[in-house]
Amino acid sequence: MAARRAVGQALRAKDPDAERRARAQVNTAKIALGERGTPWWEQSDQEREIRWTTGLQQLKTDTA
């Protein structure tokens, strides 16, 4: 949700660079959650855990 809020803040501030970064974070979160890309039910437990872990690490790096 933090990334979604950041999109709204960027839009209100009319800051296209911040909007681009926030939308990229939303995309990363959606992929990690299985909303985009390979459906979670088509992945093994290990594949899902790797996707979640990778997505979380990327989000932490993006916000640092």
Give the pLDDT score at 14.
Answer: 98
- Please state the domain extents for the chain: 2-63
Structure tokens given for 28: 């990363």
Kindly report, residue by residue over 51-64, the tens digit of the pLDDT: 999 999 998 887 76
Residues in the chain with pLDDT values less than 70: 64
Tell me what pLDDT residue 64 has. 64
Write the secondary structure of 16-27 as one string of H (helix), E (strand) and C (coil): HHHHHHHHHHHH
pLDDT of residue 7: 97
CB distance 55 to 24 below 8 Å: no
pLDDT given for residue 4 in this prediction: 93
